[in-house]
Structure 1
Amino acid sequence: MREGGAPSIIVRDNDQAISLVQVYEEHMVSSAETEHITVKDQEFDLTHIRLRANSSHSHVIAFCAAKRLVKEESITGKIPGLYGKLHDESSEFIYACYVTSPFLDKTVRSERTGFDIMENSNGLFAHELSLDEIRDAVIAKATDYLSIFLEEKKLKAKDRLEDFVSRKAPRYRPILARIPEDKLIIDPNISDKELDLKLHRHLSDIEEQLLTDGHDVMNPKSNEAFSEYQKRLEKYLKTAEDIKRSDLANYVSHRRVILDILEKAIQRDSNGRYVREDLIHNLIMPMRCDSNEIMLDSCNLWLLDERLAFHDYLASDKTISSMPITNSIETKEPDILALNVFDNPILVSEGNKLPLASIVVIEIKRPMRNDAAEGEDKDPIEQAIGYLDRIRRGTVTTASSRPIPSSENIPGYCYVICDITSSIEKRCKIHDAVRTSDGLGYFFYHRIYNAYVEVVSFDRLVNAAKERNKAFFDKLGLPTI
């Protein structure tokens, strides 16, 4: 900065002497490089410096006046790839660009804490030089100076993004081509959460623009040639297609996450205990609500059967008398439901094309629970059939209260989700149930109650859901093991 270079200065304190030249050499990676730029007829000198990584924590632009530092600004992240420490042929370094100019000397405040320069200029003051314009010009030169050192960072950023999208967030792949390339150069050390939020903001911007374009497409411009309108329409439809592909990928990815959570939930924790059934219940469908209170997206009934998504009424952990599809006045039922909060069933009434209605009762038990015994209070199979019988005796209607002919004969499907412990296995044999080929469940048809009953172990539930969704997971590159 000083003409003729810096003088040799030694600072002494009693018996201790420190050479400032030596300190300078310890902090400098290489000699400084200078260049000259002009912004709106104002001259600026830039000094590019590479400092040793332990001397600073952030890449900066340093605005100087009267041979003194006035203001420092971090530029980390403002140049694509400029994150963390950089590397040259010998070591790590932090970048600093010192900016000097007669213009800065004239506009510096007397206390040297800033400059009397507008942050940005527009309107009536568009002809005046603003700090934004100076900053942009300096960053452009800094980008050129650092370009050779940023290549490695850009490659790592690309690998980080590709790995995240491929393994954890395939929903973003269809829209990557619509995001400016420089916006995709991320910090390689960014967390999954921050990266997800960053990509989601880009997706939101694209969706917002798509909505705007949709309104424009619906209203052709006056005197617009048909060929031009057709181009706009094709561009809009292509973007819409990418968004829909993103939505589908998100839907499939959500299923992968739910399966991972369920798989962990059925395992013993570090204390050797299994989770309560309410956690698994809420994972399949939130408790104490029905289809009038929650969105279908909140339910994961596909874990058991894809067809359960198509229903007339859906209830979870609700007393039978409170359900609009039954006129049950069974006095015993509220006591049973109240006493066995986590044993309350998920109830599904499906189909509105009468008389093709059916009722599905799902009973969930705690993993590895091993106290099943004779009687409805202890036998989950009897519990499920008992719920079905009470609902039928209450005269079943549709969710809109339309009667279903011969409701007492509506086909019933009872699913008991539990581990096949010794007590459960004994109850299955007593009910003359047939063991599944994989040994992870039982099934039988109860002729008197006109009900198909299936006992599904948690392992079978997870395995079957994985198999049904494997093709989708493979298509998105998601793990299926």
Structure 2
Amino acid sequence: MEYKIGYILINLAIMPKTSTNVRNRVNKLHLPKTKSLYPLFEVISNSIHAIEEAKKEKLIKDNGKIEINILRIGKEGIFEEISNTDDYPIDSFEIIDNGIGLNEDNYNSFQEFDSEYKIEIGGKGIGRLVCLKAFSALIINSCYLDKDKYWTRSFEFKKTIEGYSNYNEELSNDNRIGTNVLLKSYVSPYKENVPKSITDVSREIIKHFQLYFIQEKQPTIIIKNQDGFHRNLTKIFNSEFKSKILSDSFIIAEEKFNIHISKSFSAQSHKVNYCANERIVRSEGLSKHLVDLKYSILDSLRNEKFYYQVFVVSDLLDTSVNDARTSFNFPDKSENEDSEQIEVIEEVTLSKIRKKTINCIENLLSETLAVIRAEKVERYRPIIDNKFPNYTNLFKYKKEKVERLPVGLNENELDIKLYEIEAQWRKEIKQEGADLLTKKKDITELEDYKELYEKYVTNLNEVGKSDLARYVVHRRSVIDLLEKLIELNDDDKFANEDLVHSLFFPIRETDDSIFSEKQNLWLLDERLTFNKFLASDKLFKQIENLGSDSKERMDLIIKKEEVFDKAVLFSENKIPFESFTIVEFKRPERNDYVYGNPKNDPIAQVRRYIRETIDGETKKRGKKIQASFNTPFYCYVVADITSSLEYILDEESFINTPDGLGYFRIYDTNNYKAYIEVLPFSKVLKDSKERNRVLFERLNLPQ
């Protein structure tokens, strides 16, 4: 029970009782040793709030004042005689303000842990516990006004079960308001990690409360050493920080939003922070919206790396923050925000604020982003030149998109991102073509139409170049893969027939499922690119295009509409077939051939395939395929010239090709007309490289 007699407080219970074990609460609280100044920040924050309350009550007329005294370890009076005060460790801080003081409301809130009294301005009610984590005690002496009378309230707060001690309240002899807080004696491990220099402490305070300084809402803050040396934090901010703060603004629905960008050498990532009442409400990683701001940036003057911290502030954000201070009382996105229709009434949404903020950041950091993007593109350019030359025209026509590629992409990721850019470009070109046809009806001046047409054709041609380059890169990759497949693997074995076969032409496919992009018969002969597929690796009786019942299998049958010297006149629907091409693949370095054996003699197999085609009842979609004794057959046996195969070729009177690597023979009999060529894989590689050399050179691809 308490009584006020003659304006002197008689505290019969001596101290207020709390239902919480203070020592236990403090022990459970986590405060990293690197955050040794956080208790000081908590007290300064309370002082700022107290000053703002005093201003609202019109108890002070200016922005208020906070004085911070640094108390170091050392004998009293010694610091006035020495010149190296900053060399002595800091023991305590004394914080003095002229705020509203610990009146009844503030004191009741102080006693209640997790108090919601300051929740509307971001208070969490545990600041005093943070102080006890790093210091042995808080000694508080506060003056406040109550019913036109000035009172003082003093007590100590320690890490004990009760927490409070030496409580006193009485009428004040000094007609002023304000609070004096002593953060007494650092404890380990915090005392070993607190900075010593008054300048370093000053800078850390400014960094923590930078939103106040940026918006010029800070009180006068003076920090003093025991030798009498003092610093004004506003002056330090103006001389060291202010010129480095980048600011801009934008308006949505007649509401003004201010953007401030500062550098942080202690943050872990680039952040955009949406703030209310000088506190951060919501943070987002900036790299989600600006991919170039993924990694830290080197400050050349300090030789340190930093991250940008972006602060978005406005009166609307101050008044729209929710009670829990986790978000704002307006939608993240409106229903028709992505619609092209113009909204009658503009609505504020977080999505719109974010979009405008990113635009401001782009403008404010344009020089920095330009350097980052240029360096990034230079890192990607050799990969694109060597691996993906089909995308080189994007540097000219979609440079802005290329510059905004994410940093740190590997080759596969880069390929996918570039493909996405090119695909969007193709879509735009198609739309340009459609628009051109539409506008032609409305354009009366020929020059206007020519200008649109020339732009469209230019873009269309560039896409065509990209397609050609992609095809050339594809050829280079196919040749490299074939070279790899015919080498000995780790087990001293060669790739099986199916793998080699599939590289030239997909096995177990029909002309209903095969596309020209999936075959690589140009490896054998460029003219085979224009052949139409009939069958691959299937039993004749299963081939819809050939009506034969034979169970013999051929590796590949290809129909040509014209003979080779007239390939340019190719016609898919021309009947009768005027020639056939047969290709037989054998495993590299195979050496178990037997002359005349139906299963192990490739020449005999090919000749049998010819007879099967001529003698069988061949039909295509019910119509007879006319293959006669005079129909020319062009046959390729792709096989390495081993001793067993060489014996068969000698017996069949094959002739060496001019380069000495392969063999050929012309069969002109009463039964069929055929040209059969045996190509070892080394010759296929050599010839295909030579034929494509000029294309590879033009794209600077490795030979």
Displacement after TM superposition at 1:111 (Å) = 0.7
1:61 aligns with 2:262: no
Give the aligned residue type for 1:114. Answer: S
1:244 aligns with 2:458: no
RMSD: 3.4
Contact map agreement 2:583 2:635 (CA 8 A) in 1: yes
1:350 aligns with 2:571: no
- More displaced 10-residue stretch of structure 1: 306-315 or 139-148: 139-148
Which has more helix, going by share of residues? 1
Match 1:401 to one of 608, 623, 627: 623
CA distance in 1, matches of 2:575, 2:315: 87
| CA distance 1:223–1:262, change in 2 (3 Å) | closer
Cross-structure match for 2:358: 139
| CA distance 1:368–1:432, change in 2 (3 Å) | same
Give the aligned residue type for 2:188. Answer: D
SS of alignment partner, residue 488 of structure 2: coil
Contact map agreement 2:561 2:579 (CA 8 A) in 1: yes
Give the aligned residue type for 1:115. Answer: F
Contact map agreement 2:394 2:402 (CA 8 A) in 1: no
- Name structure 2 gaps, 5 residues minimum: 1-40, 49-64, 71-92, 94-130, 136-185, 208-239, 338-342, 563-573
| CA distance 1:286–1:6, change in 2 (3 Å) | farther
| CA distance 1:21–1:130, change in 2 (3 Å) | farther
Cross-structure match for 1:471: 694
1:105 aligns with 2:318: yes
Give the aligned residue type for 1:74. Answer: G
Higher RCO by CA contacts (8 Å cutoff, separation 6 or greater): 1
Contact map agreement 1:291 1:314 (CA 8 A) in 2: yes
| CA distance 1:475–1:96, change in 2 (3 Å) | same
Cross-structure match for 1:263: 483
Cross-structure match for 1:82: 293
Displacement after TM superposition at 1:212 (Å) = 2.3
Contact map agreement 1:398 1:404 (CA 8 A) in 2: no
1:422 aligns with 2:643: yes
1:50 aligns with 2:273: no
Cross-structure match for 2:580: 359
1:207 aligns with 2:402: no
Contact map agreement 2:296 2:307 (CA 8 A) in 1: yes
| CA distance 1:417–1:104, change in 2 (3 Å) | same
Cross-structure match for 2:677: 454
Encode CA deviations 1:385-437: one digit per residue, 9 max, x unaligned.
Answer: 221122222266677735537x1232222211122223222322232323334
Displacement after TM superposition at 1:275 (Å) = 1.3
Match 1:295 to one of 507, 515, 519: 515
Give the aligned residue type for 1:469. Answer: N
Match 2:633 to one of 397, 412, 415: 412
| CA distance 1:104–1:325, change in 2 (3 Å) | closer
SS of alignment partner, residue 117 of structure 1: coil
1:274 aligns with 2:494: yes
The structure having more radius of gyration, on CA atoms, is: 2
Displacement after TM superposition at 1:239 (Å) = 1.9
1:17 aligns with 2:239: no
Displacement after TM superposition at 1:258 (Å) = 1.6
Cross-structure match for 2:607: 385
Cross-structure match for 1:340: none
CA distance in 1, matches of 2:396, 2:686: 35
- Name structure 1 gaps, 5 residues minimum: 338-343
Displacement after TM superposition at 1:113 (Å) = 0.9
Cross-structure match for 1:218: 437
SS of alignment partner, residue 428 of structure 2: helix
Match 2:382 to one of 149, 163, 168: 163
Cross-structure match for 1:195: 414
| CA distance 1:37–1:158, change in 2 (3 Å) | closer
CA distance in 2, matches of 1:213, 1:360: 43
CA distance in 2, matches of 1:62, 1:210: 39
Match 1:72 to one of 279, 283, 296: 283
SS of alignment partner, residue 265 of structure 2: strand
Displacement after TM superposition at 1:277 (Å) = 0.6
Encode CA deviations 1:282-334: one digit per residue, 9 max, x unaligned.
Answer: 121111223233222211111111222333552111222344554544xxx41
Which has more strand, going by share of residues? 2
Encode CA deviations 1:218-241: one digit per residue, 9 max, x unaligned.
Answer: 232436433222222222222222
Encode CA deviations 1:329-355: one digit per residue, 9 max, x unaligned.
Answer: 4xxx41x43xxxxxx421112125678
CA distance in 2, matches of 1:205, 1:77: 21
**Number of equivalences:** 464
Give the aligned residue type for 2:491. Answer: N
Give the aligned residue type for 1:44. Answer: N
Q: TM-score, normalized by length of structure 1?
A: 0.84
| CA distance 1:366–1:67, change in 2 (3 Å) | same
